[in-house]
Amino acid sequence: MSGKVFGTLMLLTALILAAKIGADFASYEAKRDVRIAVVADDQELIDLEPNLPYAYISADDGKLYIDISTNNPNYQDGFGEGVSPDSTYAFDCMFKVSNNLWEEVPISVTVSSDNSKVLVYSGEEEAGSETTFIVESGDSVCVGIVISAESYSPGDTIPSVLTIHAEKSTE
């Protein structure tokens, strides 16, 4: 009888060990703290840095704005208050896009405008509704703006939104 009990115990032990050894990983759960700082456009991993006084970072929301009017916080009495009607202005290097990613990889950046009267460019290319360029790790690239006030009258405004898209470069 003791042999049968011993044999049964051995069989049960073998089955339990076989079940544990053959088990596949099913899940894992852990809780960890995540800290992500939200900072102004000129302090982020991909910076938007004002270069001319017409561009600035808002103290209220930390975003880059381009404002050629007396509403710009950089405006000083006696300076021009805007652009002339039926004229075209080109502003080289209105702002810069910098690559401060920790991974030290180049990024491809596209800046686009939603208004055909506000065009963008980088480097020596011709201004258009969109410009695309590569920013190497630790570098910055200037973005220029061309404003056409053709068909506008004094008192009008030229509204526009610039969209900046960046992704890891495949080049």
pLDDT digits (tens, 9 = 90+) for 39-63: 777 788 899 999 999 999 998 999 9
State the burial class of residue 65 (Cβ atoms within 10 Å of its Cβ: 0-12, 13-18, 19+).
middle
146 domain residue, yes or no: yes
Q: Picking from 21-35, 48-62, 85-99, 149-163, which range would have the lowest pLDDT averaged per residue? A: 21-35
The whole-number pLDDT of residue 144 equals 97
pLDDT(156) > 60: yes
> By residue range, what is the domain housing residue 86?
41-168
pLDDT tens track for 108-129: 999 999 999 999 999 989 999 9
76 domain residue, yes or no: yes
The closest alpha carbon to 134, from 162, 103, 94, 169, belongs to: 169
10 domain residue, yes or no: no
**Structural domain tally of the chain?**
1
Helix, strand or coil for residue 11?
Answer: helix
Q: What is the CATH number of the domain that holds 153?
A: 2.60.40
State the burial class of residue 154 (Cβ atoms within 10 Å of its Cβ: 0-12, 13-18, 19+).
exposed
Give backbone dihedrals phi and psi of 36, rounded to 5 degrees, phi first: -125, 120
d(CA 135, CA 18): 56
pLDDT tens track for 127-142: 999 999 999 999 999 9
pLDDT tens track for 2-51: 666 566 656 556 555 555 555 566 667 766 777 666 777 778 889 999 99
24 domain residue, yes or no: no
26 domain residue, yes or no: no
100 domain residue, yes or no: yes
33 domain residue, yes or no: no
Alpha helix positions (H), 1-65: 2-21
pLDDT(165) > 60: yes
The whole-number pLDDT of residue 8 equals 62
98 domain residue, yes or no: yes
Q: Residue 146 to residues 51, 83, 93, 108, 153: CA-CA distances in angstroms?
A: 15, 11, 11, 22, 18
Which pTM does this prediction carry? 0.78
Q: Residue 45 to residues 59, 104, 158: CA-CA distances in angstroms?
A: 19, 11, 30
State the burial class of residue 100 (Cβ atoms within 10 Å of its Cβ: 0-12, 13-18, 19+).
middle
The closest alpha carbon to 55, from 47, 64, 43, belongs to: 64
The whole-number pLDDT of residue 43 equals 80
